[in-house]
Structure 1
């Protein structure tokens, strides 16, 4: 980390554009040859999300790759006619460039997991449908928050499955698998909050003991991050609380969520969303913590990565 570890003050100049100035989604971050790449979704209209990118040398101070969003859906929420939102990206570097996977929301179909490719991170292909949310007689199903891990030649896709009924909502993290680029098949793995909270944003990292899963939970009016462990990506320990946030911080009065974890210099970095109550509503920002053991987390800088304007209802799923 640079000398900006101890910096405090105004957030970095992100989250202030006409497309990302009102709402922010969980960022996905790659560490490439000493430079961090952040892919993130934002919106200035409720329910219409786009994806942009930024780079950083220290993980705190970021510069947009472009002022405009890189991935813009073809439709609008009011106008219909297709997807109006691309949200919650996951990305990787391939021999050909970048591969990005995101959730698409709109109509026909209402919800799908889609992928894009790019040689330079600036110009992107049209979306390819990876997985369409199945229909349900109980309500409307959406798939969100894709996260892919590769192990022994097989890909595992973890997503948040949101079932919206007339009077309630059910959230689960489920796993799909495939080999050699075939079709995704649901594996039967299902992860829930043992306390009954609404969950989202799975983030998975291979560690010395196997696999570690962090995810968001909205429980009793507050956000928190839970953690579970697995040796095989199939059977997981009962989730426990990993981070509840600092209620004395002006950025975390309503908790923390949206984890993004990266292994770093023998330890770990955790970027995450925060939620705070303001005089005219709610505000979210992105902060950075670090840990030597992935158990105890310390704020790297009082300065957030970026923050949106206040007065926005925060969506926990």
Structure 2
């Protein structure tokens, strides 16, 4: 049995490198004005962080020292503004998805006899509701349009893109878990160890993945779960097939018949006979005079027996092979075998025999 994954995309992403850019501003200088850090949110693009504004990222602000000890004129606190941004490391786009549902299908092979041998074997896919020993099918998957892999850390990629186009243009949202702290005039951040390219390239997670009871494989861009054993279902199939074309094969082989002399006697019990040899070795339709019967002897030889009342004979016969009709002639002179009691009947004057002389 096969289970086909009905995919639902979670997001698109790319392999990135997280970088940090920062800027220390004294109070009432640059972007550190008015309410200072209270005016700065995650999406704000700060002129001092121009290099990081080219990429997806988030902007933050930490309160920093002020006064003469920090090279500032005003004694109030300053601003340590920084931005964490994502720089793509390659051009590959990844798609994470999960299976909203699994459609069940069972493949049956039906052999149907037909006139065309090349089409006598047909395959059907039937939608059934079998009793399935369902494996763990709640995994999330990553695809790069060429390969598929299972991800053990779903929804962990820091770069979220709504579509493939926005991922190519890096018009995405950065959701990172970096913890950053102020260190004098710089910012120090801790980066979580996750790389979507490294996760995707783990060999043990690349499809196909096989276990003792099920198998996950890739069919084009689809995920297919194969369960070869322990599947039960009651199936009743009714087929109505219409024959659209009927082919008739006729054998038009050329056959010949070899003439043989007509032998035997007439007006006798043994009758006349004729041996006929057919060179094609097939059973054909042989038309002969009505006063004869066909006696098969060997495979290609038949013997005709005739009952005639005269000695000299000439008969027209025909043989049909498929559509072809061939004619031949039976000719011969039959012998006369007299009755042993004929002299006695002649002496008694009761004879009615008519003799032919050759």
Q: TM-score range by the shorter chain?
A: under 0.3
What is the TM-score when the length of structure 1 is the normalising length? 0.18
Larger strand share, 1 or 2: 1
Larger helix share, 1 or 2: 2
Larger Rg: 2
